[in-house]
Amino acid sequence: VLPLEFLSKLISAQSVSPHDAHLQPLIVSYLKDNLKKHSLTKKVNLSYDLYSRNRTTNSHIILSPKDRTSDEHIGFIGHTDVVPADRKSWNSDPFLLSERQDKLFARGLVDMKGAIFCYLEALIRFLKSHLLQCNIHIFLTSDEEGDGLDGIEYLFQQLDLKNFSYCLIGEPTS
């Protein structure tokens, strides 16, 4: 899958909060496919767990060095859900990636499927040219645009997280 095709798949999923529309398993598959495609499976372990509560899907994805253990942890927090789209307010289908005047438009592109896409692409490029020396965690929820009770807060209650050096939140409104 080419990068913009993957972005189009993220955008086209009507993942209105709290529904994930199977985006988180798609993201895991995209990472797996790219690790394999770029012969990175010999250097990087990929593990993940899905945590569901009510209608919310949460994921904890970990990329770690294959040949060493590391006490360093870097996290990325994101969400796959969007608020409902008033289709009458859009010049195009909000769930189709469209381009006008060299700009991309779609529901969730800025908040925050586009940030997830950019993070994954940057991560893949980094892994192609650098040796992974820490553990990279990706935390995803489908309950950020809703009440959030079953989202990241719930996910973090399920995990024993320690020693995080950094955590990046690609949320443009935070």
* DSSP letters spanning 23-56: HHHHHHHHHHHHHHHTT-TTTEEEEEEEEEETTE
Measuring CA to CA, how many Å separate 160 from each of 16, 96, 155, 157, 163? Answer: 29, 38, 10, 8, 10
Measuring CA to CA, how many Å separate 170 from each of 38, 69, 119, 149? Answer: 25, 27, 8, 20
User: Could you give the residue numbers annotated as active site?
Assistant: 81, 144
